[in-house]
Structure 1
Amino acid sequence: MTESGNPSQPANVNEYNSSHIQVFKGREAIRRRPGMYIGSTSERGLHQMVFQVVSYAVDEHLAGHADTIDVTITADGGVRVADNGRGLPVEVEESTGKPAVERELTELSFGPKPHTGYSVSGGINGLGLCVVNALSSRLTVEVHRDGHRWTQAYEKGTPITPLTRHEETGNHGTAITFMPDTGIFETTHYSFATLSQRLQELAFLNDGLAISLTDERPERPARYHHTDGLRAYVAHLNPYPPSLVHSPAIAFESENQDETISVQVAMQWNTWSPGEFRSFSNSTRTHEGGAHEEGFRTALTDLVNDYARRQQLLSAHAENITVKAIHEGLTAVVSVKLAHPVFEGSTRTRLSNPEADLYVQEVVRKHLADWLDDHPDEAVAIIRHILNAST
């Protein structure tokens, strides 16, 4: 609009120049556009803050350095996430003059941490702990490492104390306590049920990892540690009371020679439900499916049809059993871990790595074929259940 207020008169294009362009970086960019980093400022984004910190702790487990994660909703409404991993590095970097932990909490870091193998934080966003720090009114990091306890405090992503060394300790790990900024989030009330569901899911997906959740608002403890992994997850997803076609659940896992992709599968047919299928990549639920789901369905369909014909349960001239019939009553979980997962889709929850399709097919064809041959009675029961579903 011109000075005269007449919108029909064109603005002077010379008045728009480089000085009008604002470029926001780091903390400022995150606080101005939080939805770009955590999805939303609603309850979903609020819980994503917790999951982002937890994902770093899970990375430590995947790298072989942690077996316990304790999550606490504090009495004042904040969250504390503690692990017994290596502890964030505290040495001062010569190039910046800052402790490494401070850089981790103040600079965006895309993708997985180096030398941790498969990475949860390299999943859908993988933007680093600095996002949580920037969107918190206050955050405290406590590190047990190098023989001492170390602490540093932040407000809205800015350090307000230097990294301070305290008493000697033989412990190791990291604890991050943060309070979400009420000026950014629509609500700062955490749902115990929402956190509990995701943490239990992570315990199912990561063998040997114990995760606890405590709510101090009133106190309400929960602890998840599933030594039976995905087989236990399938039992959890099955309808109750179960009406199983076979027991126990079929379960197998494999990792390629280069250690760049691993696959875990558990599956069980029952007669009481239309079926439940869940897939994950790097412990992140892939709601939109993707390459690993396609590989599983392709291999499973081919195997079932081949076995049914070999056992003369399906005539040579009959049409193939459909994917829909095969999945009727099937509870299955497929979990892949990749060194470099690629996500697509409207919500970035579709895995697009073609190697996931090929490797899942290879693993399912080998291990499921062996299971069917080694368990002929259960295999025939499964095929008959599927054939009944197709009629």
Structure 2
Amino acid sequence: MSTTTDYSARHLQVLEGLEAVRKRPGMYIGSTDSRGLMHCLWEIIDNSVDEALGGHGERIEVVLHQDGSVEVRDHARGIPVDIEPRTGLSGVEVVFTKLHAGGKFGGGSYAASGGLHGVGASVVNALSHRLDVEVDRAGKTYGMSFRRGEPGRFEDGRRAPSPDNDFSPFEKSSELAVVGKARRGVTGTRVRYWADPQVFIKTARFDYDELVARARQTAFLVPGLTMVVRDERRLPGTPGEEGPAEEVFAYSGGITEYAEYLAPDSGVTEVWRLKGSDSFTETVPVLDDRGHMVSTEVERECEVDVAVRWGTGYDTTLRSFVNIIATPKGGTHLAGFDQALLKVFRKQLELNARRLKVGNDKVDKDDITAGLTAVVTVRLAEPQFEGQTKEVLGTSAVRSIVSRVVEKELTERITSKHRGDKAQATLLLDKVVAEMKSRISARLHKETQRRKNALESSSLPAKLADCRSNDTARSELFIVEGDSALGTAKLARSSDYQALLPIRGKILNVQKASVSDMLSNAECAAIIQVVGAGSGRSFDLDMARYGKIVIMTDADVDGAHIRTLLLTLFFRYMRPLVQAGRVYAAMPPLHRIEVSAGRGRSGREYIYTYTEQEMRRTVGALQKKGRTVKQPLQRYKGLGEMDADQLAETTMDPRHRTLRRITLADAARADAVFDLLMGSQVAPRKEFIVGSANELDRERIDA
């Protein structure tokens, strides 16, 4: 490759207008794949949402057309159609062709808005093969079309609008044409565009699910706004595959309702709304009457509105917004929120240290946010974002304002004398302390239980009969009910790769118990210690010492209860093991049928059955063949009644045994079932038992 050594001003390129956008689209929309395509759509939608935020228009419709275009319709004030004096162009053309032009630079048109850089609509226009805009104002409908940012006319005739139709750019002066009449009092804007295949990659597609999620989110954030999403593309694998699909979203509860929707678990507290506002000053460049930029100190108002709700789980769900624009990477408002949470809870735990038995331990952010669902919103004029994608808020003064508001409001809630708030605050502080102790205990577990090898591990419980193999994928841990079964299982197992851990009686019901109670329970602690991967949020699946965890209990009601208690422990504190399909339930037989030798046969034959129905069918079939079945049949009440060879053959030997894999197809449904069967609410469980009584096979009960 040859290069020239001279480098002068003639080598410099100056990109005019929208050329810069087409040359470097990633600078404005992040990328040219589906993510960038969706960002363009958000820019157009957000312009309509900004109008709704200002009280103009109550309905926004987004239509994905079959020809690949997308259309956004609103019923707001409509883009200005009069002539902008500096450029001599109509307001519509200025908005769609001039970078950094719009009504959101402090002119008083918007108190708070999401479109802040004045490049959104013009960038979308620059990256569109064709863009059509129609505006209803003053009883008329105005229209204008663009091709790759250039205004002109498409010769559609009777054909459907398409970017491939003949196009004539305006030569001398552009024209905003009157294309129809609008009913009296009707205003609004319709924007339809076709993304440019020269810019976006071939696989870029509008994501229907993402669009629906964003529309639902916007409807939550702007109470009273109706968002409509319609898909006419008939794409395979989408709701509109068989025909046009439409979803409508409208909510009146605001972010309180949004927090309830996002919450993945049952509540420890209700949704608490933390509101407030404060002002700050900042120095910004402002255009004076002569068109010069002058540094001016202006006073801004920042409104803070936060919804928080703590649940019984330990996952954190957090959404943050600035003028209803999502900030997935946070910013100063989220930093202020975190700062206030830490300050409030550290102070409250210090004041209640004796009752909560905190000791010298320090609570950290993860302890507080465990089970937290929060929606953090701020509204202010001209916020400073880091980049056009607006993923991070940079206005520094917002941090201290959010921190003050949240600290004041949250402290009032936690220290409230109101009976309901007081009870919830008590439960919340108990939960935070339990999470703190859980984190500390889990860290100690993780530090002390890392396996070097089975023989060197001195920290494992003495009652564990470990295996010799270091191969995790091959090794199996059998959790055995009782010491009597342990003796038989020791003789039946293959000690090379099968480990045994006996548990005494019924372990703690962890669905109702606190984390600290679970960790102090000897049986639960032993299981977590032997598995060796920690518990809760600190659980690390890669550190699990065994490839399979097999729960081996008696085939009776007590055995089923113990198995349920163990599954509750794994589901609540070691869920990745269940999700990975590494937890199993052994299936010991219920009966052994001894069949006498028939004619031409020598010796006796033993047949094992696993249910009452299977036993009856088997005995009936044998008798029809004239075989003699020894009576009474042997009924195994427990694992300890089996000989070692019988237990090995039926339950432990991989060549003959049957295991039931515990799966987790629907986590939310499983959580609801565990809460029903093992939770602290008695009434729903009683109703379930009474309602299901008629379906019970009474012969399965060992009495």
Whether these two folds match at TM > 0.5 is: yes
1:61-107 deviation line (CA, Å, top 9, x unaligned): 22222222111111211111111111000012344332111111110
Matched residue, 1:138: 130
CA apart distance, 1:287 = 2.6
1:307 and 1:119 mapped to 2: Cα distance?
37
1:231 aligns with 2:256: yes
TM-aligned CA distance change 1:141 to 1:228, over 3 Å = same
Residue 347 of structure 2, aligned match among 293, 306, 310: 306
- State the TM-score, normalized to the length of structure 2: 0.51
Matched residue, 2:321: 280
CA apart distance, 1:380 = 0.5
1:43 and 1:102 mapped to 2: Cα distance?
27
Identity %: 33
TM-aligned CA distance change 1:226 to 1:255, over 3 Å = farther
Matched residue, 1:209: 225
2:206 and 2:221 mapped to 1: Cα distance?
23
Asked whether the 8 Å contact 1:288–1:345 carries over to 2, the reply is no
Asked whether the 8 Å contact 2:358–2:433 carries over to 1, the reply is no
Q: Spell out the pairing of 1:45-56 with structure 2 (5 A cutoff).
A: 45-56=36-47
Letter of the structure 1 residue corresponding to residue 277 of structure 2: E
1:123-147 deviation line (CA, Å, top 9, x unaligned): xx65231111111111111101122
TM-aligned CA distance change 1:46 to 1:345, over 3 Å = closer
Count of matched residue pairs: 377
1:198 aligns with 2:240: no
Q: Spell out the pairing of 1:38-117 with structure 2 (5 A cutoff).
A: 38-109=29-100, 112-113=104-105, 114-115=107-108, 116-117=110-111
CA apart distance, 1:316 = 8.6
Between 1:328-337 and 1:204-213, the stretch displaced more is 204-213
Asked whether the 8 Å contact 2:29–2:388 carries over to 1, the reply is no
Letter of the structure 1 residue corresponding to residue 181 of structure 2: E
The DSSP-based 3-state class of the residue aligned with 2:373 is strand
Asked whether the 8 Å contact 1:110–1:128 carries over to 2, the reply is no
Residue 267 of structure 1, aligned match among 304, 308, 323: 308
Structure 1 ranges of 4+ moved more than 6 A: none
Matched residue, 1:34: 25
Letter of the structure 1 residue corresponding to residue 233 of structure 2: R
TM-aligned CA distance change 1:327 to 1:341, over 3 Å = same
Asked whether the 8 Å contact 1:62–1:117 carries over to 2, the reply is no
Matched residue, 2:192: 177
1:11 and 1:371 mapped to 2: Cα distance?
70
1:325 aligns with 2:367: yes
Q: Spell out the pairing of 1:284-363 with structure 2 (5 A cutoff).
A: 284-311=325-352, 313-314=355-356, 318-344=360-386, 349-363=391-405
1:196-245 deviation line (CA, Å, top 9, x unaligned): 12222222222222211111113111112221111222122211xx3211
Larger Rg: 2
Matched residue, 1:254: 276
CA apart distance, 1:255 = 3.2
Pick 1 or 2: higher relative contact order, CA cutoff 8 A, min separation 6: 1
Matched residue, 1:149: 141
Q: Which runs of 5+ in 1 are unaligned?
A: 2-6
Asked whether the 8 Å contact 1:309–1:315 carries over to 2, the reply is no
Letter of the structure 2 residue corresponding to residue 279 of structure 1: S
Q: Which runs of 5+ in 2 are unaligned?
A: 154-174, 235-243, 280-298, 438-703
The DSSP-based 3-state class of the residue aligned with 1:76 is coil
1:107 and 1:347 mapped to 2: Cα distance?
18
Asked whether the 8 Å contact 1:244–1:270 carries over to 2, the reply is yes
The DSSP-based 3-state class of the residue aligned with 1:260 is strand
Matched residue, 1:23: 14
Matched residue, 2:585: none
1:229 and 1:365 mapped to 2: Cα distance?
22
CA apart distance, 1:23 = 1.0
Letter of the structure 2 residue corresponding to residue 237 of structure 1: L
Letter of the structure 2 residue corresponding to residue 164 of structure 1: A
TM-aligned CA distance change 1:346 to 1:137, over 3 Å = closer
CA apart distance, 1:283 = 2.2
CA apart distance, 1:52 = 0.5
1:324 and 1:197 mapped to 2: Cα distance?
27
CA apart distance, 1:313 = 3.4
CA apart distance, 1:303 = 1.8
Residue 121 of structure 1, aligned match among 115, 118, 131: 115
Letter of the structure 2 residue corresponding to residue 246 of structure 1: T
Letter of the structure 2 residue corresponding to residue 245 of structure 1: V
1:345 and 1:58 mapped to 2: Cα distance?
20
CA apart distance, 1:315 = 5.9
CA apart distance, 1:317 = 6.2
Letter of the structure 1 residue corresponding to residue 123 of structure 2: V
CA apart distance, 1:381 = 0.9
CA apart distance, 1:314 = 4.0
Asked whether the 8 Å contact 2:64–2:231 carries over to 1, the reply is yes
2:388 and 2:233 mapped to 1: Cα distance?
36
Letter of the structure 1 residue corresponding to residue 39 of structure 2: Q
1:314 and 1:345 mapped to 2: Cα distance?
45
Matched residue, 1:4: none
2:389 and 2:132 mapped to 1: Cα distance?
31
2:118 and 2:94 mapped to 1: Cα distance?
15
Asked whether the 8 Å contact 1:81–1:177 carries over to 2, the reply is yes
TM-aligned CA distance change 1:289 to 1:94, over 3 Å = closer
Asked whether the 8 Å contact 1:289–1:350 carries over to 2, the reply is yes
Matched residue, 2:424: 378
Letter of the structure 2 residue corresponding to residue 216 of structure 1: E
Asked whether the 8 Å contact 1:138–1:180 carries over to 2, the reply is yes
- State the TM-score, normalized to the length of structure 1: 0.89
The DSSP-based 3-state class of the residue aligned with 1:264 is strand
Letter of the structure 1 residue corresponding to residue 406 of structure 2: V
CA apart distance, 1:345 = 8.4
TM-aligned CA distance change 1:348 to 1:117, over 3 Å = closer
1:83 and 1:259 mapped to 2: Cα distance?
29
